[in-house]
Amino acid sequence: MLNVKLTLTVLKAVVLLRPGTDEVCLTVDKPSPFPPEVTADPLHMSFEVQANKGVGYCREQFGIDPEVINTRPNR
């Protein structure tokens, strides 16, 4: 099993409230995997979290309050 310690600085955190799972999107202080000619933006990472748990996950695991975007349809 690979055991590597990484150090990342989160520059921005966004939680998308979607139908189904939440999506947490992080922008970190590492370079994009694309060449500079394509984008100078830093690395963006995203992962799914249980529905309605994305904001709490960011607060508990990263100690940050994310921006929240609600993409759920109105019912």
| 20, part of any domain | yes
Contact yes or no for 22/50 (Cβ under 8 A): yes
| 59, part of any domain | yes
Q: What pLDDT does 9 receive?
A: 95
> What three-state secondary structure class fits 58?
helix
The domain in which residue 16 lies consists of 10-70
| 2, part of any domain | no
Q: What pLDDT does 75 receive?
A: 64
Please list the pLDDT of the chain residue by residue as tens digits (75 residues).
899 999 999 999 999 999 999 999 999 999 999 999 999 999 999 999 999 999 999 999 999 999 999 999 886
14 vs 20: CA distance, rounded Å:
17
| 5, part of any domain | no
Whether the model clears a pTM of 0.85, i.e. scores above it, the answer is yes
| 1, part of any domain | no
Q: What pLDDT does 74 receive?
A: 82
